Amino acid sequence: MNFLSELTGSFSIPCADNPTVAMVEAAYQHHGLDWRYINCEVPPEHLADAVRGAVAMGWRGFNCSLPHKVSVIQYLDDMGESASIMEAVNCVVIDEGKLTGQNTDGKGFVESLQERTDPAGKHMVIIGAGGAARAIGVETALTGASRITIVNRSSERGQKLAALLNEKTSATATFRQWDGPISIPEDVQIVVNATSIGLGDPDEQLDLDWDSVRSDLVMADVIPNPPKTHFVREAGERGCIVIDGLGMLVNQGVIGVKFWTGHDVDPAVMRAKLEEIFGV
């Protein structure tokens, strides 16, 4: 008999509203894995202690959410390609004391996107220029997206992200100022809402010119709660191919578990747990 479980978890603040623990533990239980996921509230001044503690206690890895995605890098031994480009880590793998940082946010988005369309050779519009937009922009560019238009209200952040994509990937990125309803050009195939608009409010609306939205567009949201945002509902009513924010959340979890355990877990189990939590 063995009463020693393998340990993984998450470091963030605040952490009480993070459903990842329920999603990942559902996968562990479904597949009979003697692993645990521990949701930890870690303030910035204690991050170094938390990382050392995880190593000392034999953890196999952990997620990092806000505000630790950048500051955790100083404690790592190595980084994956996309994490290195975007200079942000949300998943750390611990292997015999060596810490490797990955970013599974963008990978999770690409996984959910590829279930509906291949981004290779496509022109994308990404609305927003924060962490989610950076992760999605880098990962889709590495997957072959040829053109990426960044739309953002802050020109400084938008131009910075476009410059990063042009410098570090083969995609051609441009910045477009968001100063009114966003109109989607006819040569665009994929539109991503990478802002926080809709988080916690199913009726909050993105300032989008819906008359420019064609039924052949892939419309993807990053907001997991609620899954049926106004953006998702409106795009569905217009006949678009729609990807809700649960896809990105579930798939980044699947990828993280694979990094830690070596096992491929069933995304349907994880999604079902989230749908139960969010009352979908």
Using one digit for the tens of pLDDT, what is the confidence trace for 1-56? 889 999 999 999 999 989 999 999 999 999 999 999 999 999 999 999 999 999 99
Class of 6-102+247-278 per CATH? alpha beta
What are the structure tokens assigned to 262, written together? 């070596």
Matching CATH number, 106-243, of 3.90.650.10, 3.30.565.10, 3.40.50.720, 3.40.640.10: 3.40.50.720
User: E strands along the chain, which residues?
Assistant: 6-12, 35-41, 61-64, 78-79, 91-95, 98-102, 123-127, 147-152, 172-177, 190-193, 218-221, 241-243
> What is the structure's pLDDT at 261?
98
> What is the structure's pLDDT at 111?
96
**Per-residue model confidence as pLDDT tens digits over 171-227:** 999 999 999 999 999 999 999 999 999 999 999 999 999 999 999 999 999 999 999
> Which residues carry out catalysis?
69
List every span in the chain annotated with CATH 3.40.50.720: 106-243
| Contact between 169 and 144 (Cβ < 8 Å) | no
> What is the structure's pLDDT at 280?
81
What are the structure tokens assigned to 129, written together? 């220029």
What are the structure tokens assigned to 73, written together? 């890098």
Please identify which residue in the block is written with the tokens 């608009």.
Answer: 197
How far CA 234 is from CA of 138, 159, 195, 245, in Å, comes to: 27, 29, 17, 15
**Per-residue model confidence as pLDDT tens digits over 89-132:** 999 999 999 999 999 999 999 999 999 999 999 999 999 999 99
List every span in the chain annotated with CATH 3.40.50.10860: 6-102+247-278
